[in-house]
Amino acid sequence: MNTPDSAAADDLAEILAGLRMPAKRISPKYFYDERGSQLFDEITRLPEYYLTDTELGIMQDNIDEIADLVGYQASLIEFGSGSSMKTRVLLESLHELAAYVPVDISEEHLLESAKLIQSEFPQIEIAPVVADFTKPFDLPSPRIPPKRNIVYFPGSTIGNLERDDALSLLDVMHQEAGENGALLIGVDLQKDPALIEAAYNDSAGVTAEFNLNMLRRMNNDYGADFDLDAFRHSARYDADEGRVVTRLVSLKDQVVHLGGETFTLRENEGILTEYSHKYTLEGFAAMARQSGFEVERVWTDTQRLFSVQYLLRR
């Protein structure tokens, strides 16, 4: 097991490798310190951000069928913080849940969320796990032995990953689901590009602040000297690739120091921070099949903006 110091060293090595690339990049997992997690929670409540309300509506409209598919005495393993209404809909409705296991890399935010949920659902064992869920991790042993594991991954976060990384994450989910397990996942769908772009360029500027917070975290946690006032947020939809490309764009020629190295940025040069892929139903099913999942059921809203999908582990 990695120690905190070795994990931080691994993270720094990953960040430096991304900044050395001809097209600089920082992984979107570094959005999520405590402030980043709080900002993302704000984003999910913005009027332009159709994903949250649409997904929640799908869950509420189909919760009885979802609960019947999950069955009795399952362990619900959520990849990511468990603070959303969508999680509460499941906890209120799943049949005799054995345990709820939220998994997140941001310890403070995770533990606060777990404590709140435990107060709301005292009858359910809440067993938070601090881990980078892009890599295999050890599951706790609930007091009530679960009959099966259900991996839950809402919010279309799978879209933040490039195809190879998405496949790797699906492989981890396949492993954590275990025998007779399943995956319940939110998948954003391809649609009008204007509607997509508006969701990542909100009028209140919260998404821009969320993006820039990554550089604040680089300064606070890894000793960088990014000037946050010297960057702007950029999010554009690439229709050919079916994804939003989010960058932090340098407003001037500048030099940044991190980890004993020096990085030069030209005016208008961007640091890639996130892709947000939008899928067709057929395209996502084909990708999931490569990791050993078979789509059993798909629910969408009436406009087919978003989908919630239930996949069986084969």
| pLDDT by residue, tens only, the chain of 314 residues | 455 577 789 999 999 999 999 999 999 889 988 899 899 889 988 999 999 899 999 999 999 999 999 999 999 999 987 667 899 999 999 999 999 999 998 788 889 999 999 999 999 999 999 998 999 999 999 999 999 999 999 988 899 888 999 999 999 999 999 999 999 999 999 999 999 999 999 999 999 999 999 999 999 999 999 999 999 999 999 999 999 999 999 999 999 999 999 999 999 999 999 999 999 999 999 999 999 999 999 999 999 999 999 999 99
Q: Is 95 exposed, middle or buried (0-12, 13-18, 19+ CB in 10 A)?
A: exposed
Looking at the fold, whether 71 and 212 belong to one and the same domain comes out as no
- 295 lies in some domain: yes
- Supply the pTM of this predicted model: 0.88
Tokens of 153: 């991954």
| Amino acid letter, residue 54 | T
DSSP state of 141: -
**Alpha helices in the chain, H assignment, sequence order:** 4-20, 34-43, 50-70, 85-93, 107-120, 163-177, 193-199, 206-222, 281-290
DSSP state of 80: B
Looking at the fold, whether 172 and 54 belong to one and the same domain comes out as yes
CATH number where 149 lies? 3.40.50.150
- Domain total of the chain: 2
Tokens of 42: 């704000």
Containing structural domain, residue 154: 50-191+282-313
CB atoms within 10 A of CB 87: 22
CA distances from 99 to 112, 253, 264, 293 (A): 17, 52, 49, 23
Looking at the fold, whether 207 and 179 belong to one and the same domain comes out as no
Looking at the fold, whether 296 and 156 belong to one and the same domain comes out as yes
